[in-house]
Amino acid sequence: MSSASSKKLLVAALSVACLLVLAPGAWAQSSSTSGGATFVPPPPPPAKGALVNGRLVAPASAPRRVKQVITAANRIVEKPYVYGGGHTTYRSGRLDRGYDCSGAVSYALHGGRFLRSPLPSGMLMSWGQRGPGQWITVYAHGGHAYVVVAGYRFDTSMHDRDAPGPSTGPRWSRTLRTSSAFVARHPRGY
């Protein structure tokens, strides 16, 4: 075999290898008619909501309970930070004068019927299921808690510059924060 033929054969083999690496889905789907396994791509991540005047607008594709969490959180946006705030029972139906981190997270989760009563940050560390969720993830450690819903962070600290209201208190943020010191938890199925 000549050197030119060897190079052409090598280029052809590399081209086929690249196609198999770069387009396995198309190859696996086309092979399903001959008895091979069908390639099923992973589901796309949920659509992100949008911030309007500091309130999160839920994505249309969000499940009903996720939208309820967002609605509840939106009710307390612009409330000030108050240590211990938001830890009263929910039976009165009235808003507290202010919310601390776990009180704000608890109030939002209660809106989606994920909590019956408020939990402090330490207890949120073992609430729900381990790891991040698809729509809702609570991040907690013994001294702080926040929740990410539909790709936005609801937190009482580290706000975006354009977040409305006082400098502390429950707010939505476009930016996520480093979560290595936090435990990630989520409600089952969300």
Average pLDDT over the chain reads 80
Structure tokens belonging to residue 135: 């729509």
Using CA atoms, how far apart are residues 99 and 81, in angstroms rounded to an integer? 5
Q: What is the pLDDT of residue 163?
A: 74
Three-state secondary structure of 114-175:
CCCCCCCHHHHCCCCEECCCCCEEEEEECCEEEEEECCEEEECCCCCCCCCCCCCCCEEECC
pLDDT over 50 (residue 43): no
In a 13 Å sphere around the CA of 166, the CA atoms on its Cβ side amount to 11
Q: Are 169 and 156 in contact (CB under 8 A)?
A: yes
Give the helix ranges, DSSP H, for 42-90. 64-76
Each residue's pLDDT tens digit, 5-15: 544 444 444 44
The pLDDT of residue 122 is 96
- In the chain, where are the structural domains located? 3-34, 50-186
Per-residue confidence (pLDDT) for residue 37, from 0 to 100: 54
* Domain 50-186: which CATH number of 3.40.50.720, 3.90.1720.10, 3.40.50.280, 1.20.1440.130: 3.90.1720.10
pLDDT band, residue 2 (cuts 50/70/90): low
Query: Which of 11, 47, 148 is closest to 158 using CA atoms?
Result: 148
Summarised one tens digit per residue, pLDDT across range 79-109 is 999 999 999 877 667 899 999 999 999 999 9
Question: Pick the residue with more confidence: 74 or 50?
Answer: 74
Distances (CA, A) of 1 to 5, 11, 38, 132: 6, 15, 39, 57
